[in-house]
Amino acid sequence: MINVRLDYVLLDRRMKLTELADAAGIALNNLSVLKTNKARAIRFSTLNSICRALNCSPGDLLEYIPDPPAD
């Protein structure tokens, strides 16, 4: 599973989602979907804009969590 850590990065930067939306030029509702881990995909251009606005790398925003082993 891929976990989006946007909320933690925003907290670390002391930035609100609305501020990120303005800085990155991305609609607030799209960022909200990412923040709540409900996104099914993300465009590289969107990821690039978020990273530029937050001065971070994709690895700061995305985390891989292995699936539990099958029984």
Could you give the CA distance from residue 70 to residue 54 in angstroms, rounded to a whole number?
37
Q: Pick out the chain residues at pLDDT < 70.
A: none
Instruction: State residue 71's pLDDT score.
Output: 74
Domains of the chain: 2-64 (1.10.260.40)
At 2, is the secondary structure helix, strand, or coil? strand
57-2-32 Cα angle (round to 5): 75
pTM of the full structure: 0.89
